[in-house]
Amino acid sequence: MPRKILHLDLDAFYCAVEENADPSLRGLPFAVGGRPEGRGVVASCSYAARQYGVRSAMPMSQAVRACPGLIIRPANFKAYGETSRQVMTRLHDLTPDVEQISIDEAFLDVTMLRDPAEQIARQLQALINSELSLPCSLGVASNKLVAKIANNIGKERAGKGAPPNAVLVVSPGEEAAFLAPLPVRELWGVGPKTAERLLTMGIRTIGDIAAQPEARLTQLFGKHGAEMALRARGIDERRVETEDETKSISKETTFARDVRDGEQLKRVMRGMADEVGQRLRAEGLHGSTVKIKLRWSDFTTLTRQVTLPQPTQHNDVIYHAACDLFDKTWAAGRPVRLIGVGVSGFGEAAVQRTLWEDEAQADAQQGKLEATLDDLQSRFGRGMIKRGSALEED
Question: Which sequence positions are flagged as catalytic?
Answer: 105
Nearer to Mg ion, 148 or 337 (CB): 148
Tell me the closest approach of the beta carbon of residue 137 to Mg ion, in angstroms: 8
Give burial (CB, 10 Å; 0-12/13-18/19+) of 372.
exposed
State the greatest distance between any 2 C-alpha atoms of the chain, in Å, as a whole number.
Answer: 66
Q: Which residues bind Mg ion (CB under 5 A)?
A: 9-10, 13, 104
Nearer to Mg ion, 13 or 107 (CB): 13
Tell me the closest approach of the beta carbon of residue 51 to Mg ion, in angstroms: 18
Q: Where are the beta strands (DSSP E) in 240-335?
A: 249-259, 287-296, 301-312
Listed residue (242, 249, 245) closest to 340, CA to CA:
249
Tell me the closest approach of the beta carbon of residue 32 to Mg ion, in angstroms: 12
CA 291 – CA 283 distance, rounded (Å): 19
Tell me the closest approach of the beta carbon of residue 90 to Mg ion, in angstroms: 16
The pairing of beta strand 30-33 with beta strand 42-45: antiparallel
Nearer to Mg ion, 163 or 287 (CB): 163
Tell me the closest approach of the beta carbon of residue 371 to Mg ion, in angstroms: 44
Instruction: Determine phi and psi for 61, rounding to 5 degrees.
Output: -65, -40
Listed residue (339, 233, 223, 335) closest to 292, CA to CA:
339
Tell me the closest approach of the beta carbon of residue 344 to Mg ion, in angstroms: 22
Nearer to Mg ion, 9 or 374 (CB): 9
Instruction: Say if CB 387 and CB 369 are below 8 A apart.
Output: no
Nearer to Mg ion, 164 or 340 (CB): 164
- The arrangement of strands across the sheet holding 287-296 comes to 249-259, 336-346, 287-296, 301-312
Nearer to Mg ion, 9 or 241 (CB): 9
CA 63 – CA 291 distance, rounded (Å): 30
Listed residue (130, 86, 92, 126) closest to 104, CA to CA:
86
The pairing of beta strand 336-346 with beta strand 136-141: unpaired
CA 375 – CA 384 distance, rounded (Å): 12
> Nearest 10 degrees: CA dihedral of 66, 26, 10, 179?
-60
Give burial (CB, 10 Å; 0-12/13-18/19+) of 66.
middle
Q: Which residues of 92-104 are buried (b: 16+ CB within 10 A; e: fewer)?
A: bebbebbbbeebb
Nearer to Mg ion, 33 or 277 (CB): 33
